[in-house]
């Protein structure tokens, strides 16, 4: 028998086998202990074009359900064949977000963590490369019982197993699943098929399909057009997905006439066709969705009414943040000096961390983007003079390094608040070694492998590792803070944890010279000579702090990272 239930080892589905053969056409592994219906699923798809904000929409709706007292988590599928995001160019893909467990992931996982205030893991992120590596590994082990391995049922079966495993291990009420890219992409077809199968097997009451689409608003027409949205939805429905909610992205609020057209075309009730138009901050989106009662509709659709109970603390904390966000009275300007300034998504977490800290102090943070690739001292003086703070972000490679050193020197000498991140820490060491310690040829071996004073270098144990990424310090690492330092004051502790993504370190052979010359290494890896935080005394500089970490990865709206708080506070003080 080759009916849909054949061979499914699944609660509520019979296991039947053909009389002619023990073989069947189904491969549907299930995590041990998985119970159908215990967790519900919200699947978010993109149509028309990428970059519409599927992750932001998913995080916003998830936040509303969290406030309703439900336990939620989110995951993303990226169809590209990279095993993770670690080797992707920020120009093409945006920033690489690093999870505490060291997973290098898509920037949308950062959005999930910031909205939900929770740490995600490798179980929340699946790429095509990771998926096929797993499938082929299983095939080599003989896990498919001699079968010819196919997209259906084996690839789709592994996807469903991944999604269900997240539901089981996280113990949540609702799993949000974002399908990266857009419907129609070849690399997404098998994942969309897996979600169609998931909905069939779990039951319609347990899966909610959300289509994020785009309503065109050409300036030369002066009106909104829904045809592109209709065609995108048609493509999604042709793959067996009937959307339950349609979220319409547009510059301005989508008019009722357009919503009605989409409602009829997509077979979705008009109250579940919602306008998701531009707002001043992504943190205002949950309020926008709440006005459409989308959270209540999702809860009703998934039959979760009995599990909901408003979390008053979460509700009040979020509303207080939004209240502050809408009432910013001060303004500061921060210069971000880097080499990926043409694509703002390259620094997404930095932008958000500055917004978190600024909102905490009632200040709007304006950004000035400064490309350091060809930045001379003369040009730097003109570019940096009016800034309230200078931030040098992380990077790899030599391009733009000298321009960053020039910016750091200007910030140090002119007492402009400075925050260095990862590469910004390394270049701060180089600048100090050159201009204070007198090592005029000091450099990082990443920038100049022949330098006679490698103040930044690979540690010996890193040099023995050849594989790209294998010699990186990745993920959450403990930091021992030196008592009595500014860092200890900022953190309010002599111990903290930050996330890292770097290869090069401060060369231990130069630590004594640097410290004798006035530089303070206020944070290090416990029990090791791996310097992780540096600063200048406050009597010398109002705020000169750098870290090998990426503190923006742990900053959330409700809990801004201490280094960003201190930086923004100092920048505000400079305006007075």
Residues 297-310 have pLDDT tens digits of 999 999 999 999 99
* CA atoms in the 13 A half-sphere facing the CB of 355: 18
**How confident is the model at residue 375, as a pLDDT?**
84
Within this chain, do residues 302 and 369 fall inside the same structural domain, yes or no? no
- What is the number of structural domains in the chain? 2
Q: What is the CATH classification number for the domain harbouring 136?
A: 3.40.50.300
Tens of pLDDT along 408-435? 999 999 999 999 999 999 999 999 999 9
Sign of the dihedral defined by the CA atoms of residues 338, 343, 349, 355, in that order:
positive
Within this chain, do residues 336 and 293 fall inside the same structural domain, yes or no? no
**How confident is the model at residue 345, as a pLDDT?**
79
Within this chain, do residues 272 and 386 fall inside the same structural domain, yes or no? no
* Mean pLDDT, rounded, of the chain: 91
Model confidence at 19, pLDDT cuts 50, 70, 90, reads very low
CA–CA separation, 530 and 458 (whole Å): 11
| Residue 334, Cβ density class (10 Å: 0-12 exposed, 13-18 middle, ≥19 buried) | buried
**117: Cβ contacts below 8 Å, ≥ 6 apart:** 556, 558, 559
**How confident is the model at residue 518, as a pLDDT?**
97
Residue 460 pLDDT > 80: no
At 117, list the tokens. 């205030």
Residue 267 pLDDT > 60: yes
Residue 482 pLDDT > 70: yes
What stretches of 153-290 adopt beta strand conformation (E)?
174-179, 207-214, 245-250, 273-277
Mean pLDDT value across residues 469-492: 90
Model confidence at 471, pLDDT cuts 50, 70, 90, reads low
Within this chain, do residues 289 and 357 fall inside the same structural domain, yes or no? no
What number of H helices and E strands is found in the chain? 19, 21
**Sheet with 207-214, edge to edge strand ranges:** 125-127, 72-78, 174-179, 40-46, 207-214, 245-250, 273-277
Within this chain, do residues 78 and 189 fall inside the same structural domain, yes or no? yes
**How confident is the model at residue 399, as a pLDDT?**
84
Mean pLDDT value across residues 386-410: 91
**How confident is the model at residue 26, as a pLDDT?**
76
**How confident is the model at residue 10, as a pLDDT?**
44
ω into residue 213 within 30 of 0, thus cis? no
Residue that terminates a domain, selected from 296, 318, 340:
318
Tens of pLDDT along 76-121? 999 999 999 988 877 677 799 999 999 999 999 999 999 999 999 9
Residue 16 lies in a domain: no
Residue 33 lies in a domain: no
- The beta-carbon contacts of 226-230 under 8 Å, at least 24 apart in sequence, are 226/258, 226/261, 226/262, 226/265, 228/48, 229/47, 229/48, 229/262, 230/261, 230/262, 230/265, 230/266
Within this chain, do residues 233 and 280 fall inside the same structural domain, yes or no? yes
Sign of the dihedral defined by the CA atoms of residues 10, 14, 15, 16, in that order:
negative
Residue that terminates a domain, selected from 318, 340, 361:
318
Residue 559 pLDDT > 80: yes
Residue 99 lies in a domain: yes
Residue 351 lies in a domain: yes
CA–CA separation, 64 and 109 (whole Å): 17
Tens of pLDDT along 189-230? 999 999 999 999 999 999 999 999 999 999 898 899 999 999
Nearest to 546 by CA among 447, 369, 411: 411
Within this chain, do residues 564 and 490 fall inside the same structural domain, yes or no? yes
Within this chain, do residues 314 and 333 fall inside the same structural domain, yes or no? no
Neighbours of 430 (CB within 10 A): 26
List active site positions. Answer: 422, 550, 552
What stretches of 200-287 adopt beta strand conformation (E)?
207-214, 245-250, 273-277
Residue that terminates a domain, selected from 298, 318, 338:
318
**How confident is the model at residue 396, as a pLDDT?**
81
Distance (Å) of CA 88 to CA 82, 92, 121, 309 = 8, 7, 19, 42
Q: If you search the block for the tokens 């996280």, which residue do you land on?
A: 170
Within this chain, do residues 433 and 528 fall inside the same structural domain, yes or no? yes
Mean pLDDT value across residues 281-296: 96
Neighbours of 327 (CB within 10 A): 9
Q: Over pLDDT 70: what percentage of the chain? A: 93
Nearest to 107 by CA among 66, 64, 67, 51: 51
The pTM for the full model equals: 0.92
Within this chain, do residues 137 and 159 fall inside the same structural domain, yes or no? yes
**How confident is the model at residue 177, as a pLDDT?**
98
**How confident is the model at residue 445, as a pLDDT?**
95
**How confident is the model at residue 576, as a pLDDT?**
75
Residue 522 pLDDT > 80: yes
Residue 5 pLDDT > 60: no
**How confident is the model at residue 319, as a pLDDT?**
97
Tens of pLDDT along 339-382? 766 667 789 999 999 999 999 999 999 999 999 888 888 888 88
Residue 9 lies in a domain: no
**How confident is the model at residue 398, as a pLDDT?**
78
**How confident is the model at residue 1, as a pLDDT?**
34
Within this chain, do residues 347 and 226 fall inside the same structural domain, yes or no? no
**How confident is the model at residue 556, as a pLDDT?**
98
Within this chain, do residues 274 and 408 fall inside the same structural domain, yes or no? no
Model confidence at 464, pLDDT cuts 50, 70, 90, reads low
Q: By residue range, what is the domain housing residue 552?
A: 329-575
Residue 20 lies in a domain: no
Residue predicted with more confidence, 474 or 25: 474
**How confident is the model at residue 304, as a pLDDT?**
97
Residue 12 pLDDT > 60: no
Distance (Å) of CA 48 to CA 192, 213, 228, 231 = 16, 6, 6, 8
Per-residue burial over 516-527, b if 16 or more Cβ lie within 10 Å, else e, is eeebbbbbbbee
At 172, list the tokens. 């949540």
Residue 2 pLDDT > 50: no
CA–CA separation, 11 and 38 (whole Å): 12
């Amino acid at each position: 028998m080759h009916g849909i239930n054949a061979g499914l080892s699944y609660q509520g589905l019979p296991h039947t086998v053909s009389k002619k053969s023990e073989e069947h056409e189904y491969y549907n592994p299930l995590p041990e202990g998985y119970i159908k219906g215990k967790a519900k699923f919200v699947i978010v798809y993109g149509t028309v074009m990428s970059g519409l904000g599927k992750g932001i929409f998913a995080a916003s709706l998830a936040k509303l359900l969290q406030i309703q007292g439900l336990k939620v988590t989110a995951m993303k599928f990226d169809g590209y064949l990279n095993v993770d995001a670690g080797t992707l160019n920020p120009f093409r893909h945006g920033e690489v977000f690093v999870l505490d467990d060291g997973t290098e992931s898509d920037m949308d996982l950062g959005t999930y963590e910031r909205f939900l205030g929770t740490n995600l893991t490798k179980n929340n992120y699946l790429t095509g490369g990771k998926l096929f590596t797993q499938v082929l590994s299983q095939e080599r082990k003989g896990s498919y019982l001699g079968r010819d391995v196919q997209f259906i049922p084996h690839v789709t079966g592994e996807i469903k197993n991944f999604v269900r495993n997240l539901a089981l291990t996280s113990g949540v009420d609702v799993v949000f699943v974002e399908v990266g890219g857009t419907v129609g992409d070849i690399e997404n077809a098998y994942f969309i098929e897996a979600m169609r199968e998931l909905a069939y097997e779990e039951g319609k009451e347990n899966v909610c399909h959300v289509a994020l689409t785009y309503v065109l608003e050409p300036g030369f027409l002066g009106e909104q057009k829904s045809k592109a949205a209709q065609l995108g939805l048609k493509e999604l429905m042709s793959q067996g997905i009937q959307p339950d909610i349609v979220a319409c992205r547009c510059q301005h609020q989508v008019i009722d006439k357009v919503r009605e057209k989409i409602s009829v075309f997509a077979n979705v009730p008009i109250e579940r066709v919602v306008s998701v138009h531009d707002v001043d901050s992504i943190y205002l989106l949950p309020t926008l969705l709440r006005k459409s009662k989308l959270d209540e509709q999702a809860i009703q659709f998934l039959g979760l009414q009995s599990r909901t109970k408003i979390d008053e603390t979460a509700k009040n904390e979020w509303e207080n943040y939004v209240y502050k966000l809408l009432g910013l009275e001060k303004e500061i300007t921060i210069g971000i000096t880097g080499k990926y300034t043409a694509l703002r998504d390259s620094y997404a977490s930095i932008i958000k961390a500055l917004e978190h800290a600024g909102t905490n102090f009632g200040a709007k943070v304006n950004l000035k983007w400064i490309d350091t690739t060809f930045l001379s001292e003369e040009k730097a003086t003109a570019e940096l003079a009016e800034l309230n703070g200078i931030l040098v972000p992380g990077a790899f490679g030599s391009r733009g390094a000298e321009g960053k050193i020039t910016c750091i020197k200007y910030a140090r000498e002119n007492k402009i608040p400075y925050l260095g991140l990862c590469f910004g820490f390394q270049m701060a060491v180089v600048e100090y070694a050159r201009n204070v310690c007198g090592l005029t040829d000091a450099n990082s071996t990443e920038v100049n492998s022949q330098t006679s004073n490698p103040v930044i270098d690979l540690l010996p144990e890193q040099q023995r590792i050849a594989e790209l990424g294998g010699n990186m310090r990745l993920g959450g690492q403990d930091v021992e803070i030196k008592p009595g330092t500014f860092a200890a004051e900022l953190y309010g502790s002599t111990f903290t944890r930050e996330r890292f993504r770097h290869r090069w370190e401060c060369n231990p052979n130069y630590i004594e010279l640097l410290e004798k010359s006035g530089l303070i290494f206020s944070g290090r890896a416990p029990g090791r000579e791996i310097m992780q935080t540096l600063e200048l005394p406050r009597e010398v500089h109002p705020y000169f702090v750098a870290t090998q970490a990426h503190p923006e990865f742990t900053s959330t709206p409700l809990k801004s990272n201490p280094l960003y708080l201190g930086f923004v506070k100092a920048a505000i003080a400079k305006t007075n």
